[in-house]
Amino acid sequence: MTSTNKLLLEAKGITKYFGTITALENVNLKVHEGECLGVVGDNGAGKSTLMKVLSGLYKPSSGALFFEGKERVLDSPKDSQNLGLEMVYQDLALAGNLPIGENIFLGREPTKNIGFLKFLDFKKIQEMTSAHLEKLKINVKSADQKVEELSGGQRQAVAIARSTAFNAKVVIMDEPTAALAIKEVGKVLDLINKLKSTGVGVIVISHRMDDIFTVCDRVMALFQGTNFAESQLDKTSRDEVIGWIMGKK
């Protein structure tokens, strides 16, 4: 099914050095429209580094990124955002001192002009936040609540809401369920399925086989910074994937 859908994001031969350490070596990755790719690997396998390269936070030492068929050079996360590629970080990347709405629109706040000056449009932020949270069925007391007052699950929900507020085409999630209570895990996985059904390509990095086997269509394993194995989900098993993580085929 995935091969017929449009290719959204492709990484070819990504290599990343930190000084003398090789974090990634010649790694390839593809995501299609409406597809969920699971990325697995042990700690230090290079998953997070790869995601940071894809989001423009790190520049690859060599290799190229293609977005909807065109080669793109990302100088900053702003560039990847402009292309419709969003990242949900493991540490959530929210500013606890700001309200939910201002976090969701951080860096892209709607403004209104008064004379030649631009002012923040708080009313619009509030309205758009409420509508967006409503759409994703995320319950919070109000959009004005500070993020530091929220539970871990609510924060994760805000982080995902943030990534999808601007018609994202590809959303990358780093361990989206790691810090959540069990009943909140289901909600997040539902949210991922909802995103897929709207044609968004999702990349999920996770240690939890339950997550991978609930939402993903394809799974790839990194081992010591290289592509180790890849398969359609229906052609593999949990035991095999766990073996890949440990470097066994």
Partner 1 sequence: MDDKEKKQDSLYVKLIPYFEKYGILLLLVIMILVMHILQPDVFLSWRNVTNVFKQISWQSMLALGVFMVIVTAGIDLSVGSIMMLSLMILAIVAKAGAPWFIVVLVPLFAGFLCGLINGLGITLLRMPHPFIMTLGTLYIFRGTGNLISGGTPISGFTDEVRYLGHGRIDLTWLGLEKSQYLPVSLVLIAVVYFVFWVFLNHSRTGKWIYAIGGNPSAARASGINVNKILIIVYSLCGFLSGIGALILAGRTDSGYPNAGLQSELDAIAACIIGGASFFGGRGTVLGVFAGVMIMGILRNGLNLMDVSSFWQQVLIGSIIVLAVYVDVLRRDFGTRK
The reply on whether position 78 binds partner 1 by CB under 8 A is: yes
**Residue closer to partner 1, measured from CB, 109 or 230:** 109
| Span interacting with partner 1, options 9-17, 87-95, 127-135, 238-246, rule CB under 8 A | 87-95
Among 73, 95, 181, 242, binds partner 1 (CB under 8 A): 95
Among 6, 18, 44, 118, binds partner 1 (CB under 8 A): 118
What is the greatest pairwise CA distance in the chain? Answer: 65
Residue 98, exposed/middle/buried by CB under 10 A (0-12, 13-18, 19+)? middle
Closest CA to 86 of 6, 9, 198: 9
**Partners of 14 in the beta sheet?**
27
The reply on whether position 107 binds partner 1 by CB under 8 A is: yes
Cα–Cα distance, 49 to 90 (Å, whole number) = 12
| Span interacting with partner 1, options 2-10, 36-44, 94-102, 202-210, rule CB under 8 A | 94-102
**Residue closer to partner 1, measured from CB, 26 or 97:** 97
Residue pointed to by tokens 């994760």: 156
Q: What are phi and psi of 47, to 5 degrees?
A: -60, -55
**Residue closer to partner 1, measured from CB, 13 or 96:** 96
The reply on whether position 91 binds partner 1 by CB under 8 A is: yes
Cα–Cα distance, 222 to 99 (Å, whole number) = 37
| Span interacting with partner 1, options 110-118, 129-137, 192-200, 229-237, rule CB under 8 A | 110-118
Phi and psi based region of residue 218 (left: phi greater than 0; alpha: psi -120 to 50; beta: remaining): beta
Query: Can you read off the two tokens belonging to residue 96?
Result: 């606890």
> Site size for partner 1, by CB under 8 A?
27
Cα–Cα distance, 4 to 14 (Å, whole number) = 25
Site track 37-56 with partner 1 (rule: CB under 8 A), x = hit:
------------------x-
Could you list the residues that contact partner 1 (CB under 8 A)? Answer: 55, 57, 76-78, 81, 87, 89, 91-98, 102-103, 106-109, 111, 117-120
